[in-house]
């Protein structure tokens, strides 16, 4: 489903300040290979939200080759420092991310884990200011209790792909991933411990404030 006017995202992306050349290199890689990244408009949203939250501890559930990590790390660095946890199953993606973030001078604020993201978050003996959920979509609902257990009051839950390329709007779409995203989004929206909204940028971003 074509959710947006063809000129909308290029216009919004044109408003994002110039990125570090390494970030532009990562964007080019994503375009060339079809690798899913959040893109510059959503990245800028994450940067702004992380700055507004005064976040020093960020946990990413599903980090790819480090593009979203770079946005969070820039914000944490500009907030005075802290930790951004980059988590992927794939050791090569983790190595790629380390290389990109090293070239941006961001390694001091990034911690790398080659692991399943929900299990890694559950194992952490800490709470976080921001948790970003971008794991396999069928796993979204089961991840929510773990996220709540590790997100501090006043923290932000961010989740990508909650519009799922328009499939959540199609009543005929009953596949596992679509149903999981619907269930996750509704669970967060109806949870009295969260104040939540969906920002219709790119493929939809859930933003939820932990009361």
One pLDDT digit (tens) per residue for the chain, 211 residues: 788 999 999 999 999 999 999 999 999 999 999 999 999 999 999 999 999 999 999 999 999 999 999 999 999 999 999 999 999 999 999 999 999 999 999 999 999 999 999 999 999 999 999 999 999 999 999 999 999 999 999 999 999 999 999 999 999 999 999 999 999 999 999 999 999 999 999 999 999 999 9
Specify the pTM. 0.97
Query: How far apart, in whole angstroms, are the C-alpha atoms of residue 118 and residue 17?
Result: 33
Task: Domain ranges for the chain, please list them.
Answer: 8-210
Specify the pairing of strand 205-210 against strand 151-160: antiparallel
CB proximity list for 24: less than 8 A, separation 6 or greater:
none
CB 210 within 8 A of CB 151: yes
* Tokens at 201, concatenated: 């940028």
Mention the CATH class of domain 8-210: alpha beta
Distances (CA, A) of 182 to 141, 177, 188, 191, 203: 9, 9, 10, 14, 14
Half-sphere exposure of 125 (CA within 13 A, CB side): 0
Burial 49-88 (b: 16+ CB within 10 A, else e): bbeebebbbbbbbbbbbbbbbbbbbbbbbebeebbbbbbb
Distances (CA, A) of 91 to 101, 134, 150: 15, 17, 25
* Tokens at 20, concatenated: 């570090």
């Amino acid at each position: 489903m074509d959710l947006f006017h063809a000129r909308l995202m290029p216009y919004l992306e044109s408003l994002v300040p110039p990125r570090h050349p390494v970030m532009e290199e990562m964007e080019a890689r994503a375009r060339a290979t079809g690798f899913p990244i959040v893109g510059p408009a959503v990245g800028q949203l994450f940067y702004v939200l992380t700055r507004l939250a005064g976040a020093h501890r960020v946990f990413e559930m599903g980090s790819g080759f480090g593009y979203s990590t770079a946005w969070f790390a820039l914000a944490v660095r500009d907030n005075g420092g802290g930790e951004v946890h980059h988590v992927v199953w794939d050791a090569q993606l983790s190595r790629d991310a380390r290389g990109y973030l090293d070239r941006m001078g961001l390694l001091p604020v990034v911690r790398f884990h080659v692991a399943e993201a929900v299990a890694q978050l559950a194992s952490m003996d800490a709470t976080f200011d921001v948790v970003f959920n971008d794991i396999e979509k069928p796993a979204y609902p089961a991840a929510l209790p773990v996220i709540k257990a590790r997100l501090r009051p006043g923290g932000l839950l961010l989740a990508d792909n909650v519009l799922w390329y328009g499939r959540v709007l199609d009543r005929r779409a009953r596949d596992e991933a679509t149903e999981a995203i619907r269930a996750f989004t509704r669970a967060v929206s109806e949870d009295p411990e969260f104040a939540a909204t969906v920002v219709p940028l790119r493929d939809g971003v859930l933003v939820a404030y932990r009361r």
